[in-house]
Amino acid sequence: MKNIWASIRLPLGDKSYLQDVAVYIFRLKEGFLMVDAGLNTDESFNALLKGLSDIGYRIEDIKKLIISHYHLDHCGLASRLQKMVSVPVYLHEADKRILDFFKKHVEHYPERVGEFFHSYGVPEDTMDFITKELHVYKALILGPTDTLPLQDGDTFEIEDGYIQAIYTPGHTPGHMSVFYPEKKIFFGADFILRH
């Protein structure tokens, strides 16, 4: 990898209104630190492997993983990576609580969401579509199995300096962004969306 950082685009599949999600790779003295982990699908995992290979890394080179927030397109592969290489995963405590709740109630989650929408008068055909889609996605609700707390101001050493975690709640209660002061680059994850 020529630069200190790189991005890899991981596909979200044809059911998503977004095409892909970016994960960011920061070079360390040995290995790399990654921000976000993409969706827990083989397609996303294979794109990550290829992207890493293109910049001279293997999955075994990952040393730390920062998750910006608990949504599946950002934390999905974390569990798989933890099982493969025992990488430490950092996640804000507010999002960890939500993710833990989803994992605990994953079996009944689609029905509970359907009941919630029904109570607000959502049409039956729309509810059926939503709960059907949620049944597909419940298989993806794994997320990291064990996390370390990520807080505003936490810094992580990279090869030519450091990156800093910035607390940017709103999209989720524990949404975190990353700032790279040396290059004055802000990695906002879903803090700023195009829609």
pLDDT of residue 127: 78
pTM across the whole model? 0.84
Which segment, 7-16, 107-116, 136-145, 171-180, is predicted with the most confidence on average? 171-180
Token digits of residue 164: 């800093």
138-162 pLDDT tens trace? 656 666 778 999 999 999 999 989 9
Residue spans of alpha helices (H) in the chain: 42-54, 72-75, 78-85, 93-104, 109-119, 124-138
- 176 or 101, which is more confident? 176
**Residue boundaries of the structural domains of the chain:** 5-96+142-187, 107-140
Q: Tell me the pLDDT band of 1, cut-offs 50, 70 and 90.
A: low
- pLDDT above 80 for 192: no
Tell me what the pLDDT averaged over the chain comes to: 86
Q: Tokens 């949620």 map to which residue?
A: 134
- pLDDT above 90 for 48: yes
Share of the chain above pLDDT 70, in %: 88
50-104 pLDDT tens trace? 999 999 999 999 999 999 998 888 888 999 999 999 999 999 999 999 888 877 7
Q: Is 90 helix (H, G, I), strand (E, B) or coil?
A: strand
Q: Tell me the pLDDT band of 44, cut-offs 50, 70 and 90.
A: very high
pLDDT of residue 195: 46
pLDDT of residue 189: 77
- pLDDT above 90 for 168: yes
CA–CA gap between residue 8 and residue 51 (Å, rounded): 6
Q: Does domain 5-96+142-187 have CATH number 3.60.15.10?
A: yes
- 41 or 14, which is more confident? 41
φ, ψ of residue 18 in degrees (nearest 5): -95, 145
Look up residue 23 and give its amino acid. V
